[in-house]
Chain A
């Protein structure tokens, strides 16, 4: 085959090889395992804490929704808001660590088409994060179910399989998209500190800040940022504000995809334009 056309170097085989290399790189550093372990621990801890707190609330005589049983996986969905940062760290490191060490130049020597390099990283991150979401979500759900099945909480928790499966799948998709969003930001910003700051503000800081202003447009904006879009997509009733999220799960996914695509496109544009 000739090496002279753009399609040649951007082909499926080239992408597959590049993804193979990214896969090998991901599992050959210990920080990957630490981040995944951190995500698991945070999911379980946050879910148990949140599940326990809402159950305690419900048990009070003057509690809100007096004692309607809650699906155990709902606490796992809420826990993603916290646990996601362990995955943000991992996704960020796959690119910022290469800029920090200079090894990005080696990567780009091997895979010189910027879009292929970025796509290969995304292609590896997404399934790993999805699997982490499903498995850590299942662990969190099991932990919450075990806790709330104790006599003191008697009858407050249920485990409806259909809903649990849907919730866990949602967590998986959400984690995958957040990781790819972080990758895009990392490609655009290159430094770990910058990426972490921007992604934290995007995922947590800004939506909460906008929500606190209480003004109509700010709240509407806040509700369409990844945090609430993700919660809406995952079917959470808990939007941290008491009010419901005013759109469907499908629209939540659409907003999430839009944020992810925008971040990835920005990262790609910077990669193409700036010197490595």
Chain B
């Protein structure tokens, strides 16, 4: 588990991270979202002890990263896939990492196999494509079979097959009970991968909630009702405080009330329904609503 308490980071005049408090729990993929410059990478660097917090603390399994013995066996991270010595082969890179943390050498071959890079392992890192570098970075993160995994934009540069592979990998890592914390700006991808979302903007926490809750909370999540008595039902729902727009001859779109309530109201009034369904907002829509209101949400917080 990762625990951030009052985590703040100032670079010169710029407050990159402002009093971030949250837990990233095991057994789930936690998506980490926010506009560019929101502080996602800063947060990850602070968790890994690369930068020092201005205030607050970042703990992994209850201790600061710098205190973890053989940290690669507890935390695996991919921050920047291009951060490789261009003249060193991927294989040599992993061998050195394994030695530094007392990881058996046979793990190098295993993780190269896992990420599908066994064939290119003896190429110089400078000659790898971005997608291949990403795979090598993921291999390095998996090397120590860690409980906690951090990935910063892991699907950058991957082809569609690679993207799908990463999605499956994240799901299976979380399924094994590991803590998976992954940042991305590909919303459609996150919607398929994440169980839980942390959204930050301008260094502040905007949302920390299950994916389903974030989507349900969007104003664009609506209930669509089909009925031959649309005019009648619309008046009824409005009277009950539900927002209603008429989207067709026999169709209403309502927001601000769960589907159960809409159905119950119609039933109680004896209005015949031909259809009743939830139209979910996409994560992308929910995300835009959250981050557009960046300043507005800056003072308060949503979710748990």
Interface residues of chain A, those whose CB is within 8 Å of chain B, are 1, 3-6, 8-9, 13-14, 17-18, 20-22, 24-25, 28-31, 97-98, 101-103, 105-113, 275-276
> B21 → chain A, closest Cβ, in Å?
21
Considering residues A17, A102, A106, A107, which has the most beta carbons from chain B within 10 angstroms of its beta carbon?
A: A106
Stretch of B77-85, B169-177, B194-202, B253-261 with 4 or more beta carbons under 8 angstroms from chain A:
B77-85
Check if B88 is an interface residue, CB within 8 A of chain A.
Answer: yes
Asked whether, in the complex, the Cβ of A275 is within 8 Å of the Cβ of B97, the reply is no
Asked whether, in the complex, the Cβ of B72 is within 8 Å of the Cβ of A109, the reply is yes
Stretch of B45-53, B219-227, B278-286 with 4 or more beta carbons under 8 angstroms from chain A:
B45-53
Check if B140 is an interface residue, CB within 8 A of chain A.
Answer: yes
For B71, the chain A residues whose CB sits under 8 A away are: 109-110, 112
Q: A101-B86, A109-B77 are in contact. List 16 more A-B contacts (CB 8 A).
A: A3-B67, A3-B68, A6-B67, A9-B69, A17-B99, A21-B99, A25-B88, A28-B89, A28-B93, A30-B87, A108-B49, A109-B48, A109-B72, A111-B100, A112-B66, A275-B50
Check if B101 is an interface residue, CB within 8 A of chain A.
Answer: yes
Closest-by-CB residue of A relative to B52 is: A275
Q: Enumerate B18-64 residues with CB–CB distance to A below 8 Å.
A: 45, 48-52, 63
Partner of B100, one of A1, A6, A17, A31: A17
Check if B92 is an interface residue, CB within 8 A of chain A.
Answer: yes
Interface residues of chain B, those whose CB is within 8 Å of chain A, are 45, 48-52, 63, 65-72, 74-75, 77, 79-80, 82-89, 92-93, 95-97, 99-102, 140
Q: In the complex, A255 Cα to B89 Cα: how many Å?
A: 40
For B49, the chain A residues whose CB sits under 8 A away are: 108, 112
Asked whether, in the complex, the Cβ of A112 is within 8 Å of the Cβ of B68, the reply is yes
Partner of A4, one of B63, B65, B101: B63
Q: In the complex, A199 Cα to B286 Cα: how many Å?
A: 56
Q: In the complex, A97 Cα to B126 Cα: how many Å?
A: 13
Asked whether, in the complex, the Cβ of A275 is within 8 Å of the Cβ of B51, the reply is yes
Partner of B87, one of A6, A21, A31: A31
Q: In the complex, A47 Cα to B24 Cα: how many Å?
A: 63
Asked whether, in the complex, the Cβ of B101 is within 8 Å of the Cβ of A102, the reply is no
For A29, the chain B residues whose CB sits under 8 A away are: 85, 87-88
Asked whether, in the complex, the Cβ of B84 is within 8 Å of the Cβ of A25, the reply is no
Closest-by-CB residue of B relative to A29 is: B87
Asked whether, in the complex, the Cβ of B66 is within 8 Å of the Cβ of A9, the reply is yes
Closest-by-CB residue of B relative to A273 is: B52
Q: In the complex, A28 Cα to B85 Cα: how many Å?
A: 10
> A110-B71, A112-B65 are contacts. A28–B92 as well, Cβ < 8 Å?
yes
The total number of A-B Cβ pairs within 8 Å is 104
Closest-by-CB residue of A relative to B77 is: A109
Closest-by-CB residue of A relative to B9 is: A275
6 contacts between A and B (CB under 8 A): A21-B96, A24-B95, A105-B79, A106-B84, A112-B68, A113-B66
Closest-by-CB residue of B relative to A110 is: B100
Asked whether, in the complex, the Cβ of A275 is within 8 Å of the Cβ of B45, the reply is yes
Q: In the complex, A4 Cα to B49 Cα: how many Å?
A: 15
Asked whether, in the complex, the Cβ of A110 is within 8 Å of the Cβ of B92, the reply is no
> B104 → chain A, closest Cβ, in Å?
12
Considering residues B80, B89, B96, B101, which has the most beta carbons from chain A within 10 angstroms of its beta carbon?
A: B96
Q: In the complex, A159 Cα to B80 Cα: how many Å?
A: 56
> A97-B85, A105-B80, A108-B49 are contacts. A17–B65 as well, Cβ < 8 Å?
no
Asked whether, in the complex, the Cβ of A20 is within 8 Å of the Cβ of B50, the reply is no
For B88, the chain A residues whose CB sits under 8 A away are: 25, 28-29
> A4 → chain B, closest Cβ, in Å?
6
Partner of A110, one of B72, B89, B95: B72
Q: In the complex, A110 Cα to B141 Cα: how many Å?
A: 10
For A17, the chain B residues whose CB sits under 8 A away are: 70, 99-102
Q: In the complex, A101 Cα to B95 Cα: how many Å?
A: 18
Considering residues B79, B84, B99, B100, which has the most beta carbons from chain A within 10 angstroms of its beta carbon?
A: B100
Asked whether, in the complex, the Cβ of A102 is within 8 Å of the Cβ of B82, the reply is yes
Closest-by-CB residue of B relative to A106 is: B83
For B84, the chain A residues whose CB sits under 8 A away are: 101, 103, 106
Closest-by-CB residue of B relative to A30 is: B87
For B65, the chain A residues whose CB sits under 8 A away are: 112
> B52 → chain A, closest Cβ, in Å?
6
Q: In the complex, A4 Cα to B64 Cα: how many Å?
A: 9
Q: In the complex, A113 Cα to B100 Cα: how many Å?
A: 12
Considering residues B70, B82, B89, which has the most beta carbons from chain A within 10 angstroms of its beta carbon?
A: B70
Q: In the complex, A275 Cα to B53 Cα: how many Å?
A: 9
Asked whether, in the complex, the Cβ of B67 is within 8 Å of the Cβ of A24, the reply is no
Partner of B50, one of A9, A22, A103, A108: A108
Considering residues B52, B71, B88, B99, which has the most beta carbons from chain A within 10 angstroms of its beta carbon?
A: B99
Asked whether, in the complex, the Cβ of B69 is within 8 Å of the Cβ of A105, the reply is no
Considering residues A13, A28, A30, A31, which has the most beta carbons from chain B within 10 angstroms of its beta carbon?
A: A28
Asked whether, in the complex, the Cβ of A101 is within 8 Å of the Cβ of B83, the reply is yes
Q: In the complex, A34 Cα to B7 Cα: how many Å?
A: 46
For B99, the chain A residues whose CB sits under 8 A away are: 17, 20-21, 24
